[in-house]
Amino acid sequence: MSSWTLKSIPPHDWFICLDIDPYFDHEHDPEKIFEEGFIRPISIDDKDFIVTVFFNGDPENPEFHVESSESLSKDEIAQTNQSLARILGTNIDLRPFYDQADNDPVLGPKLQEFYGLKRMARGSLLEDIINRIVQMRLSHKPTAKKMVFKVREAYGAHLQHNGEKIPAWPRPFQLAKANPAQIRKLGPTLKKGEYLVGLAQDMLAGEVDLEYLDKDADPQEFYDSISEIKGIGPTTGQDLMLFRERTDAVFPSNRTKGEEKGLRKWIIMSYDGDPSNTSEKEFQSFIKNWKGYEAAAIEFLFVNWVISSKKKKAKKS
């Protein structure tokens, strides 16, 4: 067994994330995570194993206690921390952003309300892509999450944790030999199966370098390249950009019948603008306080929307 501490750059209040359902997978029950910990399959080199993560609850001195039944070397713990840093956002530094956007009419109040928020992602860009492609255009999210779980179950390594089986996320060589028709039987459409298998094959052939896109590509290059992958359109490409360990992002114009769509439309409306009649200059004026922190800024608006929606449902019931 191995256990260690992973520190995060403050402020970081990970408990805010427990209210955001899209951050978690089928096997997670956010209501139990507070006491039982966050259980996560990790893939490093040719090894797959489970870790359990506990947050210390201190936004100003944030630390995560990590446990694994595996006996891990120092190098393996270091690699595990790299995955966990991407998942939890521990390396993301938002301190300058708080000062920069404090007086923003839209963001300012959200920065105070959700002080310490950092987005959650998955262990790699491939995991994020699998998750997004499978769940695309599915409105019933519990069903969508179950489909992702079934894909993991069919093609990822099977791991044991407290008597339960938890599948790892499939690696490219595991997905590359999958039959899209068999993926169809797990719930996703045949096309989605073809997208997943095709991407895995392209990665193995060296035609797609997700590691470079995830870590080194600037936002525009990332968007242009990721959008060329079959199954990833402008909206999904935009969303995938936000999961990287970077605070910056771009919001390219994507008009349909003269009206902006996707995140750009949402931002314009948040600043009481008109999605059908907003110039590039006007849009940039809306997000002038976001510069260098576009990915972080939109996450505060997203979390506000999720929690506000929950409160409205609670009032109706």
Instruction: For residue 166, give the CATH number of its domain.
Output: 1.10.340.30
Indicate if 157 and 77 belong to the same structural domain.
Answer: no
Q: Does position 214 have pLDDT exceeding 90, yes or no?
A: yes
177, exposed or middle or buried, with CB in 10 Å at 0-12, 13-18, 19+? exposed
Distance in Å from the first CA to the final CA of the chain: 46
- Please indicate, yes or no, if residue 296 is contained in any of the structural domains: no
Indicate if 18 and 131 belong to the same structural domain.
Answer: no
Indicate if 85 and 132 belong to the same structural domain.
Answer: no
pLDDT of residue 255: 86
Indicate if 239 and 129 belong to the same structural domain.
Answer: yes
Q: How many CB atoms lie within 10 A of CB 141?
A: 12
User: CA 274 to CA 282: how far, in whole Å?
Assistant: 10
Of the three residues 44, 69, 91, the one that is the final residue of a domain is 91
Q: What is the domain-level CATH number for residue 56?
A: 3.30.310.20
- Please indicate, yes or no, if residue 140 is contained in any of the structural domains: yes
Per-residue confidence at 108, pLDDT binned at 50, 70, 90? very high
Beta strand residue intervals within the chain, DSSP E: 2-7, 38-44, 47-55, 63-68, 158-161, 164-167, 255-256, 259-260
- Please indicate, yes or no, if residue 195 is contained in any of the structural domains: yes
Tell me if 289 sits within 8 A of 101, measured CB to CB: yes
pLDDT of residue 289: 97
69: domain range? Answer: 2-91
Task: Tell me the whole-structure pTM to 2 decimals.
Answer: 0.95
- The alpha carbon of 180 is separated from its chain's Cα centroid by a whole number of angstroms, namely 25
pLDDT (mean) for 93-121: 97
Report the number of distinct structural domains present in the chain: 2
Query: DSSP letter at 21?
Result: G
Of the three residues 68, 91, 114, the one that is the final residue of a domain is 91
User: CA 131 to CA 128: how far, in whole Å?
Assistant: 5
Per-residue exposure over 240-273, b if at least 16 CB sit within 10 Å of its own CB, e if not: bbbbbebbebbbeebeeeeebbbbbbbbbebbeb
- Please indicate, yes or no, if residue 8 is contained in any of the structural domains: yes
User: CA 177 to CA 155: how far, in whole Å?
Assistant: 9
Which tokens belong to 127?
Answer: 């995991």
pLDDT (mean) for 203-211: 97
pLDDT (mean) for 216-238: 94
- Please indicate, yes or no, if residue 72 is contained in any of the structural domains: yes
- Please indicate, yes or no, if residue 259 is contained in any of the structural domains: no
156, exposed or middle or buried, with CB in 10 Å at 0-12, 13-18, 19+? buried
pLDDT tens-digit profile of 163-202? 899 999 999 999 999 999 999 999 999 999 999 999 999 9
pLDDT of residue 262: 87
pLDDT tens-digit profile of 84-105? 999 999 999 999 999 999 999 9
Residues linked to residue 186 through DSSP beta bridges, in sequence order: none
170, exposed or middle or buried, with CB in 10 Å at 0-12, 13-18, 19+? buried
Indicate if 153 and 203 belong to the same structural domain.
Answer: yes
